[in-house]
Amino acid sequence: MYKTLILLISLVFSINLYAAPGKKPTGADKNVHTYTLPNGLQLIVKKDLRAPVLISEVWYKVGGSYEPDGITGISHMLEHMMFQGTSKYPEGVLTRLIDENGGKMNAMTTADFTMYYQKLANDKLSLSFKLESDRMRNLSLQQKNYDKEKQVVINERRMRTENDPQSTTIERFNAAAFLGNPYYQPVVGWMSDLNNMKLEDLRNWYNTWYAPNNTVVVVVGDVDPEKVYQLAQQYFGPLKPQTLPTVKSHGIIKALGQKLVNVKMPAKLPFLLIGYNAPAHTTEPKSFEPYALEVLAAILSQDDSSRLSKNLIRGKEIATTADVGYSLYSRLPGLFLFAGIPAQGNSVAQLKQAFFDQVKQLQTTPVTEKELSRVKTKLIANKTYKRDSISAQAYDIGSLAVVGLPWEEADNYYRQIEQVTAKQVLDVAKKYLVQNEATIAVLTPEKIVTGEKTKTQNTKKKEVRG
């Protein structure tokens, strides 16, 4: 369940990793090849010869956290419009061509980026590059298509947020938790902004951000990197770069006390969120703290043997759901999150105190070497198993590149996790998980009265994508 919540909370771009055109030498993994085209487009290719397939991803360094007030949701709206065709490939042709060639395609928008991908046989890369390079600069932005997609996005927001009590609670929680940080606004946009958004707003956004020098292309699979580079030169090379807006950084503004958010809506169950402002590796690249927070999150909520599951769900049976979330590689400082639903017969207040008790224990008693070793081993194993998937490999590379980190950071993860000590875990728990600086959101179910019967609204969690 909480994986879905993390997608909804998801924070989940302007630094060039490689400045000179041509190929750059890579690090330890000789299967990874990096290039920069003269127009500034970054290309990262990873050979994986286990199957005759590839995944091609185009990452734009723009997402919800780039949007000013008044046009929130515009990056996600543009993602929808990117499937409405160009003059060369009209509406429906892109999808048809990928389908006819046995491929799969999709897209996603987060606070930090917008990404489009195709998964194809390894001899079909030219098709992907041909279609993506065309819609990068030649998108048909017609009023009739915009009006249609705008209603689709508005209905999506209504269904996934306004009619979903947990999603609404998360949205209001973020708005309070992120002080001076654009992560406070929803990726899908505020309803008032969506209603007032104009086609001209979208055209300006597209012309501003969708340029080769604001793009990372990632290809993973059974490919020849030099041939991939030649195809990139052929299709993306002619596109002209453009001047990009300056993107400013944002630090953590220290809380001056607890912030409380109360949400009352028709819902089946109560829901609790507790968040602490915390750095990411992107914002503290030379510090051990983000990796210690990553280990801390795993100590609390990694699997059935982790502390929250063992103590709050199976042990005292305080919660039916109790989880932790932390984003190591977000572009801006994020949150260390607790989320849960109290078990029947228990209150939100009891669950909140149980979360605080778990934090207190971590702040006063160092984790044992045995537990620390088990958690590290599981973190590293999970990261390693993900590499069986070319999609996961491409995502790891692209998600680092668009926030200004080198692809080698994916391999550096293992070393950094291994070096985390019990004292470092205790130190970050004491420094960042300060009870008086937490943001707390509580969803209290309101009953719906219909005639003589009283009922509650049953909600179903849906993954936000596309």
Residues 273-304 have pLDDT tens digits of: 999 999 999 998 889 999 999 999 999 998 88
- Does residue 6 have a pLDDT over 70? no
* Final residue belonging to a domain, choices 235, 270, 290: 235
CB 298 within 8 A of CB 379: yes
Q: pLDDT, tens digit, for every residue of 392-424?
A: 999 999 999 999 999 999 889 999 999 999 999
Residue 21: per-residue pLDDT: 33
Percent of the chain whose pLDDT exceeds 90 = 83
**pLDDT mean across residues, the chain:** 90
In a domain, 242, yes or no: no
- Does residue 5 have a pLDDT over 70? no
pLDDT-based confidence at residue 229 (cuts at 50, 70, 90): very high
CA-to-CA distance for 106 and 103, rounded, in angstroms? Answer: 10
Residue 26: per-residue pLDDT: 39
Strand partners, 448: 455
Residue 270: per-residue pLDDT: 97
In a domain, 444, yes or no: yes
pLDDT-based confidence at residue 15 (cuts at 50, 70, 90): very low
CB 203 within 8 A of CB 197: no
Q: pLDDT, tens digit, for every residue of 440-454?
A: 999 999 975 444 444
CA-to-CA distance for 288 and 417, rounded, in angstroms? Answer: 9
- Does residue 12 have a pLDDT over 50? no
Based on the domain organization, do 220 and 326 belong to the same domain? no
Which structural domain, as residue segments, surrounds residue 427? 259-455
Based on the domain organization, do 123 and 13 belong to the same domain? yes
- Does residue 271 have a pLDDT over 80? yes
CA-to-CA distance for 284 and 289, rounded, in angstroms? Answer: 8
Based on the domain organization, do 451 and 318 belong to the same domain? yes
- Ranking 314-318, 376-380, 447-451 by mean pLDDT, the lowest is 447-451
Percent of the chain whose pLDDT exceeds 70 = 90
Based on the domain organization, do 211 and 272 belong to the same domain? no
In a domain, 125, yes or no: yes
In a domain, 466, yes or no: no
The domain total for the chain is: 2
* Final residue belonging to a domain, choices 201, 235, 269: 235
- Does residue 14 have a pLDDT over 50? no
Based on the domain organization, do 295 and 396 belong to the same domain? yes
**Nearest-CA neighbor of 289 among 322, 257, 252, 258?**
252
In a domain, 313, yes or no: yes
CB 427 within 8 A of CB 292: yes
Query: Which CATH number fits the domain that encloses residue 447?
Result: 3.30.830.10
Q: pLDDT, tens digit, for every residue of 51-80?
A: 999 999 999 999 999 999 999 999 999 999
Based on the domain organization, do 82 and 179 belong to the same domain? yes
CB 168 within 8 A of CB 107: no
CA-to-CA distance for 14 and 66, rounded, in angstroms? Answer: 11
Residue 198: per-residue pLDDT: 98
Which residue is listed with tokens 């968040």?
275
For residue 192, give both structure tokens. Answer: 């008032």
| Beta carbons within 8 Å of 463's beta carbon, 6+ residues apart | 4, 7
Based on the domain organization, do 138 and 35 belong to the same domain? yes
Based on the domain organization, do 227 and 265 belong to the same domain? no
Based on the domain organization, do 279 and 422 belong to the same domain? yes
Q: pLDDT, tens digit, for every residue of 155-175?
A: 999 999 999 999 999 999 999
448-450/453-455 β-pairing? antiparallel
Based on the domain organization, do 393 and 288 belong to the same domain? yes
In a domain, 254, yes or no: no
Helices (H), 316-465: 348-364, 369-386, 390-401, 409-419, 422-432
Based on the domain organization, do 227 and 307 belong to the same domain? no
Based on the domain organization, do 206 and 266 belong to the same domain? no
* Final residue belonging to a domain, choices 177, 201, 235: 235
**pLDDT, mean of residues 362-386:** 95
CB 394 within 8 A of CB 218: yes
In a domain, 460, yes or no: no
- Please tell me whether residue 268 adopts helix, strand or coil conformation: coil
pLDDT-based confidence at residue 28 (cuts at 50, 70, 90): low
Q: pLDDT, tens digit, for every residue of 75-130?
A: 999 999 999 999 999 999 999 999 999 999 999 999 999 999 999 999 999 999 99
In a domain, 461, yes or no: no
One-character DSSP codes across 79-137? HHHTTSBBSSSBTTHHHHHHHHTT-EEEEEE-SS-EEEEEEEETT-HHHHHHHHHHHHH
